[in-house]
């Protein structure tokens, strides 16, 4: 519901006046090629998510609602796993918050860029993702294109790809019945790839190793049902303390 209101608010900005609509279409034309890699990624990952949801026994509509409202690959993959575990609201809240905390840091970088954007701003914030963040931040502004419409176009298209992917995956799982045992490994694949990419793109591997090490220790102490909450708390405390002292990870 919220997302629909936020989206309508953002779109009303362009549908009001004909010139604005034309400016948006012009920006969308420029934006589309930038979204092609996102399309490949979101449709594929969305299909994987939809199939995971279907395999776990959740209805198609829930998959679509989650894709439309959350737009978060890692969060949603993890959600499928958490939704099949025993009910644990506190751990769920903290774990997903930590996974999505990177959006907060993206937002910090976007504070200036999003200044004074009016009605489109809430939507642009709502749909921040890793992929659209990269496109929107690295985009070289052009005089003939209104930047906020460029970002709006990138976000609306990417948002749609994600919903389409998720819907396709859920429907495929619903219609074509084959043995999906082991498909949960898609989550492992996703996080392993992110881990490897981050490892390659950074020179300081201490934070990554800290995460692995603390999680293993907590797994051994607390067991597989409840180790992520203490692990996340310890990681957060250690990193907050360190970021006040040394310049850990600064040379990235």
The size of the interface with another protein (CB under 8 A), counted in residues, is 99
Residue 33 or 86: which CB sits closer to another protein?
86
Give φ, ψ of 225 to 5 degrees: -80, -25
Q: Does 176 bind another protein (CB under 8 A)?
A: no
- Please answer whether residues 74 and 81 qualify as being in contact, where contact means their C-beta atoms are separated by less than 8 angstroms: no
- Please answer whether residues 30 and 142 qualify as being in contact, where contact means their C-beta atoms are separated by less than 8 angstroms: yes
Residue 11 or 82: which CB sits closer to another protein?
82
Residue 45 or 145: which CB sits closer to another protein?
45
Chain length of the chain = 252
Q: How far is the CB of 84 from another protein (least distance, A)?
A: 7
Q: Does 235 bind another protein (CB under 8 A)?
A: yes
Interface with another protein in residues 42-81 (CB under 8 A): 44-45, 48, 58, 62, 65-66, 69-70, 72, 74-75, 78-79
Q: Quick one: CA dihedral 110, 113, 116, 118, positive or negative?
A: negative
Q: How far is the CB of 40 from another protein (least distance, A)?
A: 6
Structure tokens at 206: 């201490």
Cα–Cα distance measured from residue 25 to residue 27, given in angstroms and rounded to the nearest whole number:
5
For the chain, the distance separating the N- and C-terminal CA atoms, rounded to the nearest angstrom, is: 39
DSSP H or E run through 188: helix 185-200
Q: How far is the CB of 247 from another protein (least distance, A)?
A: 7
Which of 7-15, 149-157, 159-167, 208-216 is the region at the interface with another protein (rule: CB under 8 A)? 208-216
Q: Does 222 bind another protein (CB under 8 A)?
A: no
Q: Does 5 bind another protein (CB under 8 A)?
A: no
Which of 24-32, 148-156, 165-173, 215-223 is the region at the interface with another protein (rule: CB under 8 A)? 215-223
Q: Say which residues have a Cβ less than 8 Å from residue 46's Cβ, sequence separation at least 6.
A: 67, 161, 162, 163, 164, 165, 166, 167, 168, 169
Interface with another protein in residues 77-116 (CB under 8 A): 78-79, 82-87, 89, 92-93, 96-111, 114-116
Q: Does 220 bind another protein (CB under 8 A)?
A: no
Structure tokens at 52: 């995971």
């Amino acid at each position: 519901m919220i997302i629909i209101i936020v989206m309508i608010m953002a779109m009303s900005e362009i549908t009001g006046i004909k010139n604005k609509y034309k400016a948006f279409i012009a920006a969308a034309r420029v934006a589309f090629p930038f979204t092609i890699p996102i399309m490949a990624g979101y449709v594929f990952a969305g299909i994987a998510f939809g199939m995971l949801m279907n395999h776990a026994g959740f209805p198609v509509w829930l998959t679509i609602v989650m894709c439309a409202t959350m737009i978060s690959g890692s969060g949603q993959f993890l959600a499928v796993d958490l939704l099949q575990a025993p009910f644990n609201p506190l751990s769920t809240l903290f774990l997903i918050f930590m996974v999505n905390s990177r959006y907060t840091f993206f937002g910090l970088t976007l504070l200036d860029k999003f200044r004074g954007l009016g009605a489109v701003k809430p939507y642009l914030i709502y749909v921040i993702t890793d992929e659209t963040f990269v496109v929107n931040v690295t985009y070289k502004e052009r005089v003939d294109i209104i930047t906020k419409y460029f970002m709006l176009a990138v976000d609306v298209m990417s948002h749609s790809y994600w919903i389409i992917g998720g819907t396709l995956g859920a429907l495929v799982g619903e219609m074509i019945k084959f043995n999906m045992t082991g498909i949960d490994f898609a989550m492992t694949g996703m996080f392993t790839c992110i881990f490897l990419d981050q490892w390659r793109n950074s020179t300081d591997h201490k934070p990554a190793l800290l995460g692995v090490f603390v999680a293993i220790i907590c797994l051994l102490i607390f067991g597989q049902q409840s180790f992520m909450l203490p692990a996340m708390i310890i990681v957060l405390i250690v990193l907050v303390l360190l970021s006040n002292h040394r310049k850990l990870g600064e040379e990235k």
